[in-house]
Structure 1
């Protein structure tokens, strides 16, 4: 049987892949305007926007906010898993 923390880890992994795919699409011309680019943007931009408000691009072009967002997502996810495992042991 699959545990709750397994579901949480799977959701976190999927969302990380969504963010990574969205960032990689920024390297391709007009890829963000495609159907998949718009879907990925609607899923990841609200989360990335929080970090973009506080982390300015380096040299005006290099945006490191997705890296910080992925690290924060992993930390928060592991924290949620720890709390769930504390509340529901086993």
Structure 2
């Protein structure tokens, strides 16, 4: 059996950090993103600050708004959650 290398990082960024980078790349403010997603600016900001998780319903909305698959957002959130237990 072939041995597989594994890497377990000490820290993983919250999915909100990735969202923040994407919004900056698109030159989109949290306010504008909240309008496009139909979510409150407060909710978007708590995600951007890493204080709130991206749940499946939000991941689908993010996919529809940003064309980044929902599974990407859910995997990013899961990786953060698993690393920061």
Return the TM-score normalized by structure 2: 0.27
Return the TM-score normalized by structure 1: 0.26
